[in-house]
């Protein structure tokens, strides 16, 4: 299990439904977070519905810190952020989840203990809760429907925590056991097709033949071909030629 010196604590304040607590545990563990704190759960603790919903993340609930009040849950923290979708009229720094998790990682790197608060499902955190935070985390949601499910909000913030580590790659080309085709392999493919198309009388009329060859070469260069693609295209053309020969 991680320590609060290496990750933020996620503090669920007066959660109402055990299912949402369990779903929040799953969301945390999806992204490597396991420091949960629970403040005044409505249906008591431990909660069998939370355990059932947590599935493989049940150990987060087993080791969750239970507190009767919010000051007790935050007593060892240096920096606290509160999630809310509604304007609160409080003088606070307001961060996006992305900026909040970058801030959390920077502070934890300096040895601070950081916590993020999530409010109860019905109405979220109260102003008295938010007053105990150093900053607000606000998600740019639809203003006509700003309410986020507890577990959804936890998932969003946990994802940004993982992303702040810089380990996620924005784009990966999955090559399924093959590798990109080399320039030589693509050139060989292009010449193979040009030769067969020439025999088939494709480059006609002669005045347009050079432009047609140029367009064909340009088409091959635009395609992100793999070695497997090149081999298959060679095979298709060979089979078509064999099929035509058998039919004569």
Per the structure, the complete domain to which residue 222 belongs is given by 183-247
159 lies in the same domain as 203: no
Closest-CA residue to 92 (of 143, 157, 138): 138
pLDDT, residue 70, reads 96
138 lies in the same domain as 28: yes
Within-domain flag for 2: no
66 lies in the same domain as 116: yes
62 lies in the same domain as 141: yes
Digitized pLDDT (tens) for each residue of the chain, 248 residues in all? 566 679 999 999 999 999 999 999 999 999 999 999 999 999 999 899 999 999 889 999 999 999 999 999 999 999 999 998 776 678 899 999 999 999 999 999 999 999 999 999 888 899 999 999 999 999 888 888 877 899 999 999 999 999 988 765 667 677 788 899 999 999 999 999 999 999 999 999 999 999 999 999 999 999 989 999 999 999 999 999 888 777 66
Exposed / middle / buried, residue 239 (Cβ in 10 Å: 0-12, 13-18, 19+): exposed
Exposed / middle / buried, residue 231 (Cβ in 10 Å: 0-12, 13-18, 19+): middle
pLDDT, residue 141, reads 83
In the chain, how many domains are there?
A: 2
Asked if residues 225 and 188 have their Cβ atoms less than 8 Å apart, the reply is no
16 lies in the same domain as 95: yes
24 lies in the same domain as 110: yes
Closest-CA residue to 121 (of 147, 100, 96): 147
pTM score of the predicted model: 0.73
Phi-psi region of 33 (alpha: psi -120 to 50; beta: other; left: phi over 0): beta
């Amino acid at each position: 299990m991680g320590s609060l010196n290496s990750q933020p604590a996620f503090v669920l304040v007066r959660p109402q439904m055990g299912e949402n607590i369990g779903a929040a545990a799953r969301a945390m563990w999806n992204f490597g977070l396991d420091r949960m704190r629970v403040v005044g759960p409505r249906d008591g603790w431990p909660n069998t519905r939370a355990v059932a919903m947590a599935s493989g993340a049940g150990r987060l609930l087993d080791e969750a810190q239970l507190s009767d009040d919010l000051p007790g849950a935050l007593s060892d923290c240096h920096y606290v952020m509160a999630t809310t979708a509604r304007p609160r009229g409080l003088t606070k720094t307001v961060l996006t989840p992305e900026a909040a998790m970058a801030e959390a990682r920077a502070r934890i790197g300096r040895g601070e203990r950081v916590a993020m608060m999530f409010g109860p499902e019905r109405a979220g955190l109260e102003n008295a809760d938010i007053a105990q935070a150093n900053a607000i985390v606000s998600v740019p949601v639809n203003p006509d429907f700003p309410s986020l499910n507890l577990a959804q909000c936890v998932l969003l913030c946990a994802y940004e925590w993982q992303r702040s580590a810089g380990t996620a790659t924005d784009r990966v080309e999955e090559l399924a056991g093959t590798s990109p085709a080399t320039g030589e392999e693509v050139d060989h493919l292009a010449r193979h097709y040009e030769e067969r198309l020439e025999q088939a009388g494709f480059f006609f009329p002669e005045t347009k033949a050079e432009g047609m060859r140029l367009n064909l070469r340009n088409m091959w260069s635009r395609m992100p071909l793999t070695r497997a693609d090149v081999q298959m295209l060679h095979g298709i053309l060979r089979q078509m030629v064999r099929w035509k020969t058998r039919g004569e």
